Amino acid sequence: MSKLDEKIALYTKASNDLGLGLDEAFIAAVTKGLGPSIHNKDAETVSCSDKGELETVKKNFLIKKLGLEDSGKLDDAIKAVCEKMGTSNRNKYRALFYALLAKEFGKESVYA
């Protein structure tokens, strides 16, 4: 099993444990899209308590990658994903975080 496959399996298990309702193929596509960052412990997760990081998620992922307009809806969606993944959950994996955001805005086709 490759390191990528191991990460996909880890994220799929975490998604199932949290009841996120994400498809394994979609998780795999988002994970591949993140490239080598998934192998860096710090870059692999999203810290919902770090305002700077959440701003980066908004600018680099939601606006640049998904092509969304900057509005209050983006901040609300990020907050909702933080809550959905669990405020006490320290392992908010970026692949799952991004998958939930893409699903929220109907942008799954970006990874097709």
Q: Residue 68 has what pLDDT?
A: 96
Distance of CA 33 to the CA centre of its chain: 11
Residues whose CB is less than 8 angstroms from the CB of residue 102 and which lie 6 or more positions away in sequence, other chains included:
30, 66, 108, 110, 111
Mean pLDDT of the residues in the chain: 95
Name the amino acid, one letter, at 23. Answer: D
pLDDT at 46: 96
Would you state the structure tokens that stand for residue 108, as one six-digit string? Answer: 């799954």
Question: Which domain, by its residues, includes 72?
Answer: 3-111
User: What is the reported pLDDT for 52?
Assistant: 96
Q: Which residues of 59-77 are buried (b: 16+ CB within 10 A; e: fewer)?
A: eebbeebbebeeeeebeeb
Instruction: At 5, list the tokens.
Output: 């496959």
Phi-psi region of 86 (alpha: psi -120 to 50; beta: other; left: phi over 0): left
Which CATH number fits the domain that encloses residue 12? 1.10.238.120
Number of structural domains found in the chain = 1
For residue 3, what pLDDT is reported?
A: 94
Say whether 42 sits in a helix, a strand or coil: helix
Statement: residue 1 has pLDDT above 90: no
Q: How far apart are CA 20 and CA 99, in angstroms?
A: 10
Q: Which two tokens stand for residue 74?
A: 């983006």
| Per-residue pLDDT reduced to its tens digit, 27-85 | 999 999 999 999 999 999 999 999 999 999 999 999 999 999 988 899 999 999 999 99
